[in-house]
Amino acid sequence: MRIIISLVAAFFMASAANAGTLEDVKARGVLNCIVNTGLPGFSYTDKSGRWKGFDADMCRSLAAAVVGDGEKVKFIPATGKTRFTLLNSKEGDVIFRNTTWTFVRDVDVKLTFLPTTYYDGQGFIIRKSKGVKSAKELDGATVCIQTGTTTELNLADYFRANKISYKPVPIESNEEARKNYLADRCDTYTTDASGLAATRATFDKPDDHLILPEIISKEPLGPVVRHGDDQWADIVRWTVYALIAAEEDGITAANVDKMAMDKSNPNVSRMLGSEGNLGGMLGLDKAWAKRAIKAQGNYAEIFERNVGLKTPVGLARGLNALYTNGGLQYSPPFR
Amino acid sequence: MAVVAGRTSATGVRGAPNILLRLWRNKDTRSVILQVLTMALLFAFLAYIINNAVLNLAVLGKTFSFDFLGFPASYDINQRLIEYTSQSTHFRAMLVGILNTALVAFFGIITATIVGFLFGIIRLSNNWIASHIVYCIIEFTRNVPVLLHILLIHGIIVHVLPSPRQAHTLADSIFLSNRGLTIPDPIFGEGFSYTVIAFFVAVGIIVTFYRWARKARDERGKIYPVFWISVGILFGLPFLVFLLSGSPLGWEVPTLGRFNLKGGITMIPEFLALWLALSLYTSVFIAEIVRAGILAISKGQWEASQAVGLQRNRILQLVIIPQALRVIIPPLTSQYLNLTKNSSLAIAIGYMDIVATIGGISMMQTGKEMESMILVLSIYLCFSLVISAFMNWYNQRIKLVER
């Protein structure tokens, strides 16, 4: 009996070892990427069923770097509540799902948070006809929230701090929240300001709705991986930095091949693999960053194509501009 | 020991297979061997699963502890039967969730039982139209998944009913809108306790009267209208005391605030949808159980009762229902359990039950999946065991005394 148990234990010891996400992904040939079930501009499916958006494109860049093809991604849609369970049970390799980096999640839920891809904050949307100009006037209002998110906690804190009351209506997904808000089940809907803008873009009459001026929290959104696999965390971290560095150095999807040949800028040459072997240190090949940039473009291209001012979502770069333009996006050096 | 072992092994080289074979061929020992093997496999399987969980938690660097129950929950709950704020603990949030589940299960079971018995009896009636309308309702309801009923009713409340400003209202005190059903909140004044005392006194009088009437029936054959007299005492006495003590009861009537109705008691749409959907869905199963129970009583029982000159309602009350209950109660218990467990579908519309509080937000915010799920499972188990225990006790009580 004891032999059986120890055999079983040994078997599980071997298979449950947490390192080796890279080997798993390479062997599978497909990146399993956890995304939002539907948030316009960030991750949603278009009419032909193709996943689109800021987060979905980041998944493709990562897949291009790791398995060599930006289309080798299996998208795993998750609600606010299921995302970490899906990650920890190894259903997914990485979360690109507008996930806020917080102390408890980082330290106690045993997740590893990687560079913030979108600096956000929580806001409120309300019908103009309600005549509200500030979130402080929301005393007694019914508020729709996505359950299992940080916004739920911020909301409780904000109303408590301002000594006003509210009635929460917890909802599973952004799409359900949108329906309930439009049916006037709740007076106001609260989530990340980017999500509000994205959701408002889908309304029939977006101009009838107002996003209140108060931003009540800091929401640094970025990719998440499991604790304990440092190699895999490094790969995701530096792939994101490669996209930001590409914007800094003016590398785009269109000119990345030319830039790789041109050896005049040593920074660019190192990153794109024409000098040294940074990719080898990650356990990838030399051209990893080149493929990542070529797949979906640099950070600016991904941003502008999905959520930028020319899209229906219409977000300005704001905090997400490069540090040289007064934003917070900054890549450590590739050397 | 060593000597014994040596001797058996020396002689057993040839004997051992025979002994095993003989043990296997013997019916009694074979069954023992099989049982031992089954238990061994079962324990191996359990050990495998527990070991798997422990190892995987260790690999993730997670601990197994229920300490998080003492930490502040930091989120708000819209329907709370006990005091709760966002500073309360996760444990308190769990209690709120348990009470919300209990509330919807309790009202659901009562409504489903009443509607189910009515449907079951109408289904058996000689009125062709009534019986067939109920037949259609039953077939439609029980062949559509309960989740769809919940979503449908919730959808109707939220999308069809007007906003609070244009709420349907009855006498400007009861309001129905897409924020729920709001009724006035009773405010008990000084002296209302006399009415409460009168109520319990009335219950006492009814019990005594019932015993006396029963004795009178057995001894003198005189039958009193026990039911109507009881109802009269139950409502009449407290009402009389209530009037005499100066009607010490006020109502806080809801008024329109800036966003919502203020004051009063509001049943939120999520509660209404869950309650109505669960009751309706379960009631049609109960209707079929009731119909089966009544049809199970042989026609001879009716004829024999008529032969001794009993009226139709007395036949039902004294002969048919007591026997039918024997058939009805066991499957009825299953339906009560189903209703309670189905209430976990509350998550689909955001009703804050056990699954949404401890098994949802608390689990999510603390990352304690294993601990939370164990708690949720145990709580549902307790609910089910309590209901089963009560129904088994009742079943024992109404069982026919067999001679």
* Higher pLDDT, residue A19 or B6: A19
Q: Is residue A280 part of a domain?
A: yes
Q: Given A151, A184, A217, which residue is the final one in a domain?
A: A217
CB contact under 8 A, B352 and A170: yes
What's the pLDDT score for residue A142? 92
Partner-chain contact A160 B364, CB within 8 Å: no
User: Domain for residue A11, yes or no?
Assistant: no
Q: In this complex, do A227 and B61 lie within 8 Å of one another by their Cβ atoms?
A: yes
CA distance B255 to B304: 61
User: Is any Cβ of chain B less than 8 angstroms from the Cβ of A20?
Assistant: no
Residue A243 domain-assigned (yes or no): yes
> What ipTM score was computed for the predicted complex, to two decimals?
0.77
How close, in Å, is residue B364 to chain A by CA atoms?
6
Q: Is A200 helix (H, G, I), strand (E, B) or coil?
A: helix
Instruction: Please say whether the beta carbons of A188 and A177 come within 8 A.
Output: no
State whether A49 and A133 are in the same domain.
no
For position A14, what pLDDT does the model report? 43
Residues A281 and A137 in one domain: no
Q: What residue of B is the nearest CA neighbor of A160?
A: B86
| Measured distance CA(B57)–CA(B370) in Å, rounded | 9
Of residues A109, A153, A166, nearest to B367 (C-beta): A109
Strands B255-256 and B261-262, bridge-based pairing:
antiparallel
* β A141-146/A166-171 pair status: parallel
What are the tens digits of pLDDT across the range A197-248?
Answer: 989 988 999 889 999 998 999 999 999 999 889 999 999 999 999 999 999 9
Q: Give A220's DSSP letter.
A: E
Of the candidates A195, A217, A239, which is a domain's last residue?
A: A217
CB contact under 8 A, B55 and A110: no
List pLDDT tens digits, range B360-392: 899 888 888 889 999 999 999 999 999 999 999
Would residue A79 count as lying in a domain? yes
Scanning every residue of chain A, which has its alpha carbon at the shortest distance from the alpha carbon of B361?
A148
B370 lies within 8 A of chain A by CB: no
Select the more confidently predicted residue: B257 or A245: A245
Domain boundary among A217, A236, A266: A217
State how far the Cα of B207 lies from the Cα of B209, in Å rounded to an integer.
Answer: 5
Residue B167 confidence (pLDDT):
84
B300 touches chain A (CB under 8 A): no
Mean pLDDT of chain B: 88
Chains A and B form CB pairs within 8 A to the count of 125
Q: At residue B252, what are phi and psi to the nearest 5 degrees?
A: -90, 105
Calpha distance A258→A275 (Å, rounded): 15
Q: Is residue A44 part of a domain?
A: yes
Is the confidence at residue B321, as pLDDT, over 90?
A: no
Q: Which of A84, A126, A167 to mutate to test the interface with B (most CBs of B within 10 A)?
A: A167
Report the length, in residues, of chain A: 335
Question: Based on the domain organization, do A47 and A175 belong to the same domain?
Answer: no
Same domain, A135 and A115: no
Judge: A140–B75 Cβ closer than 8 Å, yes or no. no
In this prediction, residue B345 carries a pLDDT of 93
Burial B240-274 (b: 16+ CB within 10 A, else e): ebbeebeeeeeeebbeeeebbbeebebebbbbbbb
A78 lies in the same domain as A126: no
- Interface mutation vs chain A, best among B36, B75, B161, B376, most A CBs within 10 Å: B75
Q: Which pLDDT score is estimated for B265?
A: 87
Rounded to an integer, what distance in angstroms lies between the CA atom of residue A334 and that of residue A5? 48
Q: Distance, in angstroms, between A91 CA and closest chain B CA?
A: 14
Q: B256 to chain A: nearest residue by CA?
A: A140
Residue A210: what are its φ and ψ, rounded to 5°? -120, 135
Q: Please name the residues in contact with B348: beta carbons below 8 A apart, sequence gap of 6 or more.
A: A172, B147, B150, B151
Question: Do A245 and A312 reside in the same domain of the chain?
Answer: yes
Using the Cβ of A164 and the Cβ atoms of chain B, whether some distance falls under 8 Å is answered with: no
Q: Per residue in B187-200, pLDDT tens? A: 887 778 888 898 99
Q: How far is B102 from chain A, CA to nearest CA, in Å?
A: 20
The answer on A225 and A115 residing in a single domain is yes
The answer to whether residues A211 and A225 belong to one domain is no
User: What is the count of structural domains for chain A?
Assistant: 2
Question: Is residue A156 assigned to a domain?
Answer: yes
| Residue from the list B48, B56, B260 with its beta carbon closest to the beta carbon of A8 | B48
**Exposure letters B37-55 (e unless 16+ CB within 10 A, then b):** eeeeeeeeeeebeebbeeb
- Average pLDDT (B243-254) is 82
Q: Any chain A CB within 8 A of the CB of B147?
A: no
CATH number at residue A70: 3.40.190.10
User: Which residues in chain A are contacts of B360 at CB distance < 8 A?
Assistant: 81, 147-148
Q: How does pLDDT run across B47-74, given as a tens digit for each residue?
A: 999 898 888 888 877 888 899 999 999 8
Q: Which pLDDT score is estimated for A61? A: 96
Band (pLDDT 50/70/90 cuts) for residue B171 is confident
Say whether both A39 and A105 belong to one domain. yes
A204 touches B at CB < 8 Å: no
CB contact under 8 A, B259 and A142: yes
Q: pLDDT exceeding 70 applies to what percent of chain B?
A: 95
Q: Does A157 fall in a domain?
A: yes
pLDDT confidence of B400, banded at 50, 70, 90? low
**DSSP-assigned letter for residue B178:** T
Give yes or no: residues A227 and A321 share one domain: yes
The percent of residues above 70 in pLDDT, for chain A, comes to 94
A residues 243-302 closer than 8 Å to B (CB): none
Spatial contact of A305 and A311, defined as CB atoms under 8 Å apart: yes
- Nearest-by-Cβ selection for A152 from B361, B367, B369: B361
Asked if the C-beta of B55 comes within 8 angstroms of chain A's C-beta atoms, the answer is yes
User: B259, B267, B347: best mutation site toward chain A, by most A Cβ within 10 Å?
Assistant: B259
Which of B55, B62, B163 faces A16 most closely, judged by CB atoms? B55
Taking CB atoms and an 8 Å cutoff, what residues of chain B touch A140? 257-260, 262
Tell me the CA distances in angstroms from A74 to B30, B125, B288, one per residue in order: 52, 58, 47
**What pLDDT is attached to residue A17?**
46
Position B319 confidence tier, pLDDT thresholds 50, 70, 90: confident
Whether A205 and A269 map to the same domain: the answer is: no
Gap from B128 CA to chain A (nearest CA, Å): 41
Distance from CA of A48 to the nearest CA of B (A): 27
* Å between A81 CA and nearest CA of chain B: 6
Which pLDDT does position B138 carry in this prediction? 95
| Percentage of residues of chain B with pLDDT beyond 90 | 48
Q: Band of the pLDDT at B4, cuts 50, 70, 90?
A: very low
Q: Least CA distance to A102: which residue of chain B?
A: B365
Q: Which of B86, B347, B367 sits opposite A156 (nearest CB)?
A: B86
**Mean pLDDT throughout B132-141?**
95
CA distance B87 to chain A (A): 9
Structural domain harbouring A145: 122-217
* 335 residues of chain A, pLDDT tens digit each: 455 555 445 444 444 445 689 999 999 999 999 999 989 899 999 999 999 999 999 999 999 999 999 999 999 999 888 899 899 889 999 999 989 999 989 988 889 999 999 999 999 999 999 889 999 999 989 999 988 888 899 999 999 999 999 999 998 888 889 999 999 999 999 999 999 998 998 899 988 999 999 899 999 999 999 988 999 999 999 999 999 999 999 999 999 999 988 888 888 999 999 888 999 999 999 999 999 999 999 999 999 999 999 998 889 998 999 999 999 999 999 98
Residues of A in contact with B367 (CB under 8 A): 84, 104-105, 108-110
A13 within domain boundaries: no
Tell which A residues from 59 to 118 touch B, by Cβ distance under 8 Å: 80-81, 84-85, 88, 104-105, 108-110
Distance (Å) from the C-alpha of residue A187 to the closest C-alpha of chain B? 7
Q: What number is the average pLDDT over the span B285-305?
A: 92
H-only helix segments in B26-89: 27-60
Cβ neighbours of residue A62 closer than 8 Å, sequence gap 6 or more: A31, A33, A94, A96, A235, A236, A239, A292
Question: A211 with A235, same domain?
Answer: no
